[in-house]
Amino acid sequence: MRVSGTPYRTIWPTANGSVRVIDQTRLPFTFATIDLETAVAAAEAIRSMVVRGAVLIGATAAHGMALAARSDPSDAHLDEAAAMLQATRPTAVDLAWALKRMREALAGTPPDARVRVAYREAAAICDASVEQCRSIGIHGLSIIRRLSATSGRPLNILTHCNAGWLACVDWGTALAPIYMAHDAGIPVHVWVDETRPRNQGAALTAFELGAHGVPHTVIADNLGGHLMQRGRVDMVIVGSDRTTAAGDVCNKVGTYLKALAAQDNGVPFYAALPSSTLDWSLDSGSDIPIEERSPTELTHVTGRNARGYIESVRVVPDGSSALNLGFDVTPARLVTGLITERGVCAATRAGLRSLYPEVRGAT
């Protein structure tokens, strides 16, 4: 997507073989890139959320394997790099998927060809992801088009966290249909949950939508239920970090609360996801490990002070502890539909099987 008129992806290799990413910890106030030179740097970028979002985490891990091959293409070193990258974030299943795909591509390749193959495979993962997100956008657009036809006013769509192009390589998952609707001239307005504690909605989704010119309003995570009660939300679209074979959606913490409110008010609730986030090995989302992050993400808030500098301020008393869990699970019963690159299906085993009949274990 475009930033100040220039088209960008979130990750790309440079001429010298390093991997360039947008430093998302500095958004929305500074748009800057970082060059990753090693697999360790790639792992640190994932862990510190310089890059984040299920799809981009996978793409960065894939490039991390290419950087590992560049420094030492031996099996031992690649094993070590894959383990390190896998350990960065426990909840997203894309990470494991991308690392598995890289390992398979490299396993059958002689060491002296591995660097070339690794970069090629990482690029293929990125290109495929862009194409998947584009397809998700097209399938989601048909839902927006249908709802818009009956609404007679700009369609109000609520989203939680950031599942836009910054969370992917391009287009995004939850936001792809919104970009396509906006570009097609369908009037849409987005309610952006600020998404505490890391404020990815306020910082990243608002930045993305603003840069693309999509009308939007930032709201506290607490407000969405009230807006639904008053008929001011026509649709919810969120992303998914992991989706089980039975359709449970594990996404940024707070998603479950919005799904409950959507159900209570008859608002359609969709999760948009590429098939790489599907975990066919799990039925129940309650088996998904939930990442616990540092309490300082909650006790401190980072933003731009009156003098224009980025600063962190503490908002919790010194003696109080805090708990910071990153995800929750929305049971399939609350999900109106899953928007995938192959189409829209019910959030059920049968629904997913209808789109992915070839997956073993999906039957």
Angle between helix axes 75-86 and 39-47 (nearest 10 degrees) is 10
Q: Give me the catalytic one of 241, 248, 279, 328.
A: 241
Nearest-approach distance from CB 116 to a copy of itself, in angstroms: 40
**Residues touching a copy of itself, count (CB under 8 A):** 65
Binding residues for a copy of itself restricted to 27-86, rule: CB under 8 A? 28-29
Alpha carbons 103 and 99: distance in angstroms, whole number: 6
Binding piece for a copy of itself, criterion CB under 8 A, among 3-11, 191-199, 336-344, 355-363: 191-199
Nearer to a copy of itself, 40 or 246 (CB): 246
Q: Does 292 bind a copy of itself (CB under 8 A)?
A: no
* Furthest-apart CA atoms within the chain: distance in Å: 63
Pick one of 103, 300, 342, 349: the residue that binds a copy of itself (CB under 8 A): 300
Q: Which is nearer to a copy of itself, 70 or 160 (by Cβ)? A: 160
The residue among 146 and 226 lying less far from a copy of itself, judged by its C-beta, is 226
Q: Which is nearer to a copy of itself, 219 or 246 (CB)?
A: 219
Report the C-alpha dihedral over residues 36, 40, 43, 48, rounded to 10 degrees: -80
To 10 degrees, what angle do helices 176-183 and 114-151 make? 60
207 binds a copy of itself (CB under 8 A): yes
Burial class (CB in 10 A: 0-12, 13-18, 19+), 308: exposed
Distances (CA, A) of 317 to 94, 110, 261, 312, 323: 37, 57, 31, 15, 14
* Cβ nearer to a copy of itself, comparing 8 with 12: 8
Residue 283 designated active-site: no
Question: Residue 307 and residue 95: Cα distance in Å, rounded?
Answer: 39
Site string (227-256) toward a copy of itself, x via CB under 8 A: --xx---------------------xxx-x
CA distances in angstroms from 248 to 158, 183, 206, 334, listed in the order given: 19, 31, 27, 9
Closest CA to 219 of 201, 231, 235, 234: 201
Tell which residue, 235, 231, 262, has the closest CA to residue 330: 262
299 binds a copy of itself (CB under 8 A): yes
Cβ contact 180:217 at 8 Å: no
Report the b/e string of 269-286 with b at 16+ CB within 10 A: bbbbbbbbbbbbebeebe
CA distance 318 to 299: 9
Residue 203 binds a copy of itself (CB under 8 A): yes
Q: What does the radius of gyration of the chain's CA atoms come to, in whole angstroms?
A: 20
Residue 313 is a binding residue for a copy of itself (CB under 8 A): yes
Region of 9-17, 54-62, 150-158, 312-320 interacting with a copy of itself (CB under 8 A) = 312-320
**Exactly one of 88, 135, 173, 199 binds a copy of itself (CB under 8 A); which one?**
199
| Part in contact with a copy of itself (CB under 8 A); list of ranges 33-41, 96-104, 276-284, 327-335 | 327-335
Stretch that binds a copy of itself, among 1-9, 60-68, 257-265, 349-357 (CB under 8 A): 257-265
Contact stretch for a copy of itself (CB under 8 A) within 42-50, 74-82, 311-319, 340-348: 311-319
In which element (H, E) is residue 206 found? helix 206-212
Judged by beta carbon, residue 128 or residue 316, the one nearer a copy of itself is: 316
Site string for a copy of itself, 268-287 (x = CB under 8 A): ------------------x-
State the residues that interact with a copy of itself by CB under 8 A: 28-29, 192, 194-197, 199, 202-203, 206-207, 209-210, 216-226, 229-230, 252-254, 256-258, 260-261, 264, 286, 290, 298-306, 310-317, 319-325, 327-329
